[in-house]
Structure 1
Amino acid sequence: MIDAHSVADVIAAEHAHASELDSGVFMDRASTGLAAQILRLFTGSIPGTRVVIAAGSGNNGGDALFAGARLARRGMRVDAIGTTNRVHVAGLAELRRAGGRFAVWGSDRSQALVDEADVIIDGLVGIGAAGALRGAAAEMVPILNAAKGIRVAVDLPSGVDADSGQVLGAAFDADLSVTFGAAKPGHLVAPGKALTGELRLVDIGIGDALTEPAARALQEADVSMAVPGPGFDDHKYRRGVAGVAAGSEEYPGAALLCVGAAVRGDAGMVQYLDRADGLARAVVGQYPEIVASQRTD
């Protein structure tokens, strides 16, 4: 099960660990985890891999820049493109020390760098952003989405509301989202879910301060535990009988779909109740393990 926490809950949990927040420990943990998840994407040669960071002015951009420095030290060619020249100061300094380069969107070769990149890191805005993307960020996102490189979102795809999953205007379409501390509802709720791609969580040490999740998403293993398969000594009556009254001459597919779902739900016996429309023959032909009876209503 994936537990998703609201922005307010995550921020409160971070402030409950004020010493780590103030000292930059959270950003170090986040950027380290982000770089590690990007490195996991490559099983072959890493040196020479071209990485472009789309960096905004806030801490989200800082996470991306510090992660970029770690990637540069592993031999990747890292270019950061800022929405303006005002980006996270310490993160940019670290990137430059590692051999990374920086340009402002709209400058010479900024779009060419995106087109040539093997990995594109979205660090434009963070989870606290509200409303539609504006300015250079809104201009960059469609170009980032059209590029051939693997698209990685820092915490949450820019343009997706972290608490609702709502999208107003342009939004980054990620292949992978690396989130910190906890998943956010925007990762799990449409349309944000469709833009999240694969979701990976980095533990930054705030789990003990989080409260009740704002949303939960069941995974296949959760459903398997809730609906266990039959035991070696089970029989049809111990597992229960599922009755299905569905379909008509006009909509025969409804009968097949509903009966198929009941069969896959591991009921002890599935009984199809036919309304004398002649559907029973087709249903039993598809699912010979069921029993068909006539409906009288």
Structure 2
Amino acid sequence: MRSAHTVEQVRAAEATLMSRLPEGALMQRAAAGLAVAISDLLGRVYAAKVLLLVGAGDNGGDALWAGAMLARRGAAVEAVLLSSKVHEAGLAALRSSGGRAVLAAEAHRPDVVVDGIVGIGGRPGLRDEAAEALALFEGVPVVAVDVPSGVDVDTGRLPDRHVRADLTVTFGTLKIAHLVDPAAQSCGVVHLVDLALDLPEPPVEALQPVDVARLVPTPGPFGHKYTRGVVGVRAGSETYPGAAVLCTSGAGSGLAGMVRYSGSAADAVRARHPEVVASEGRVQAWVVGSGGDTDAEAALADALSDGVPTVVDADALIYVEQGPPGLVLTPHAGELARMLDVEREAVEADQLGFARRAASEYDAVVLLKGRHTLVARPDGRVRVTTSGVPWLAVAGAGDVLAGVIGSLLAAGLDPWDAASVGSWLHGAAATQASGGGPLTATRVADAIPEVVQGLAS
């Protein structure tokens, strides 16, 4: 599990650790990890040109100490001091190692810029002098210390002016901005330097393959199709029969024992999936709404009357009200905006905030689709899906995802696990099926069994 903590949690853990260590030891650990990461990015140290943008606070100190370590190994290190209150011991170490402080306009064109402007406790945004200094070195790779300066660390929101990093070297734990868009897009590759912090339960986390392998339901030696779960699908319509086919493709990827289909696209479903049972009967979970068009409202009412966990997607989302228990809502940003009566742009700017708000207002698990999909619980805990590729933004992919989540619900996972595991499998299947190029929703569904098989190896 990749855990992301709040600034307050990190500060408290750092204070506890520092009370047990010699003064300055924690900063030395962080600076050493930062120096190694910069070296790896450069591919060499001797004669490399390194520019530090240094603000007040510990991030500036980390940058200065790392710069001193690089200078001792032969790098030409210059520091632009953007505050009158920089870390004095770090600056002295840099100068004694051969580095020097310069004005931004006097600095040589560097091989890398190190962003030590603002730490995790800083206000979002950049002051004029910092923005102007950054602009002088446009096109040079940027390494951010802990977080790109200017981002809103605890929310993932982005102000107008902030650093866009190629590499972010963070310490102790991930921060929320490293996982949650839009801020995560400005972090580049995130490298974690372990500081052995004693941290509480994280409010935001990201499943890793080992977590998914532990959570995916696997059949026992005496299992059969009914004990493994029956997932019902009420999707598609005369206008969108393909949505029913794709939804049953996801539901029938082998994670549950059986798929039932109820709707107007039965012939299309049977033609693609002869194993799907197109008749009424008992199910352990429903998937409703994908391509439902004008059939969606009635389909949702019928599904909810069964009292089983239900995935509500696409056209059915506008008919959802708070509760009953066991709902998984799967909107994209535009659909969530309609559900909350806000503008889409607002949702895209504050994805974490609106996903949490919807989960609370609807008392349901809410999966907000995106580059980094968010799965929020009513209590505010969130999982972020970081598997997947941009090629996954293709028609029908959401129909497959809804079916996958429904099959995991039917197999016995709770709504939060089903949604987050389903989202991870969906993204991993897209990555595998894509191979770096275009793909279709059908290929995503077809790749899911192979991804699950790979988890077990």
**Alignment-mate amino acid for residue 13 of structure 1:** A
Distance change >3 Å, CA 205–CA 272, structure 1 → 2: same
Structure 1 residues 251, 188: CA separation in 2 closer, same or farther (over 3 Å shift)? same
Indicate yes or no: 2:146 matched with 1:147. Answer: no
Structure 1 residue 239 displacement after superposition? 2.3
- Return closer, same or farther for 1:72/1:255 CA change in 2, 3 Å cut-off: farther
Which residue number in structure 1 is paired with residue 320 of structure 2? none
Q: What does 1:74-89 align with in structure 2 at a 5 Å threshold?
A: 74-84=73-83, 86-89=85-88
Look up the equivalent residue of 1:191 and give its one-letter code.
P
Q: Is the 8 A contact 1:58 1:87 kept in 2?
A: yes
In 1, are the aligned partners of 2:125 and 2:149 still within 8 Å (CA)?
A: no
Where does the alignment leave 5 or more consecutive residues of structure 2 unmatched? 281-297, 300-457
C-alpha separation in 1, matches of 2:204 and 2:40: 28
What's the CA shift string for 1:180-209, capped at 9, x where partnerless?
A: 1222222222222222222222222432xx
Aligned pairs for 1:104-253 within 5 A: 104-105=103-104, 107-108=105-106, 110=107, 113=109, 117-142=110-135, 146-149=138-141, 151-207=142-198, 210-230=199-219, 235-253=224-242
**2:113·2:140 contact (CA, 8 Å) conserved in 1?**
no
One-letter amino acid of the counterpart of residue 185, structure 2: A
DSSP-derived class of the 1:291 partner: coil
Residue 55 of structure 1 corresponds to which residue in structure 2?
Answer: 54
Q: Deviations over 1:142-196 (max 9, x none)?
A: 555x4142x2211111111221122222111222221112222222222222222
* 1:47-101 CA distance string (max 9 Å, x none): 2333222211222111011111212223333222222465322212212222223
Structure 1 residues 220, 257: CA separation in 2 closer, same or farther (over 3 Å shift)? farther
1:14 and 2:5 matched: no
SS of alignment partner, residue 122 of structure 1: strand
Identical-residue share of aligned pairs (%): 46
Cα distance between partner residues in 2 of 1:260 and 1:69: 57
Hey, what's the Cα distance between the residues in 2 that align with 1:215 and 1:164?
A: 11
Q: CA RMSD in A?
A: 2.8
1:291 and 2:281 matched: no
| Separation in structure 1 between the aligned mates of residue 31 and residue 91 of structure 2, nearest angstrom | 13
For the residue of structure 2 that corresponds to 1:23, the secondary structure is: coil
What TM-score do you get using the length of structure 2 for normalisation?
0.55
d(CA) in 2 for partners of 1:152, 1:8 = 24
Task: Tell me the SS of whatever aligns to 1:78.
Answer: strand
| Cα distance in 2 for residues equivalent to 1:284 and 1:143 | 62
Q: Partners in 2 of 1:140 and 1:39 — Cα distance? A: 23
TM, length-normalised to structure 1: 0.82
Q: How many residues align?
A: 282
Range with bigger deviation, 255-264 or 168-177: 255-264
CA deviation after TM superposition for structure 1 residue 235, in Å:
4.3
The residue aligned with 2:251 is 262
Task: Please give the per-residue CA displacement for 1:101-160, whole angstroms capped at 9, x wherever unaligned.
Answer: 32122x23x3x52xxx3322111100110132112123334555x4142x2211111111
The 1:285/1:100 distance shift into structure 2, 3 A limit, reads farther
Residue of structure 1 in register with 2:95 after alignment = 96
Match of 2:64 in 1: 65
Q: Structure with the greater relative contact order (CA < 8 A, sep ≥ 6): 1 or 2?
A: 1
Letter of the 2:276 counterpart:
V
Instruction: Check conservation: 2:45, 2:70, Cα contact below 8 A.
Output: no
Q: Is the 8 A contact 1:272 1:290 kept in 2?
A: no
SS in 1 for 2:231: strand
CA–CA distance in 2 between the matches of 1:235 and 1:37?
Answer: 51
Secondary structure at 2:114's aligned position in 1? Answer: strand
Specify every segment of 5 or more residues in structure 1 that has no aligned partner in the other structure, as ranges. none
